[in-house]
Every structure is written in structure tokens, then in C-alpha cells.
Amino acid sequence: MKKDIHPKLVPCKIICEGQVVLETYSTRPEIHVDVWSGNHPFYTGQQRFIDTEGRVEKFQKRFGDSYRKQR
């Protein structure tokens, strides 16, 4: 087997909303997440809007009708 082909594991902090929520090992020293079990609506029982604007509306806002004219 070849030696030293695997990436090195380092202590990693999982960060959500500026707070460390978990410490584990990874190839990266920090991982930023938007949602975890501590603030997910399923686990907390509270309703929370993560994406208030849909993808289609965001696309239409950005490009309007210009994408249809190019065809």
C-alpha cells in the first residue's frame, strides 16, 4: 500500500451562527453550517424561515425577461 496518500485529520470546530456547536476531526479546521439539530424546527418545535425568497422569484428578479429574449 502507498504511504501518505490520505489527507491529515485535524481537530475541527463546527460553527453555527457564530457559536461552536460541535468539535470533531476533519481535513478542515472549521466548518460553518446554517442549520443543526439545536436550531432545526423539527427538533425545537419552532417555525423558522431559512429561505424566504423562492428560487424562481430570485431568478426572475435577477434576470427578468431578458433570458426569454436571448432564445
Domains and CATH numbers, the chain: 1-49 (4.10.80.400)
How far is the first Cα of the chain from the last one, in angstroms, to the nearest whole number?
A: 54
Per-residue pLDDT of the chain (71 residues; tens, 9 = 90+): 788 899 999 999 999 888 899 999 999 999 998 888 887 777 777 766 666 667 777 777 888 776 666 65
What is the 3 state secondary structure string of 2-70? CCCCCCCCEEEEEEECCEEEEEEEECCCEEEECCCCCCCHHHHCCCCCCCCCCHHHHHHHHHCCHHHHC
**pLDDT at position 70:** 62
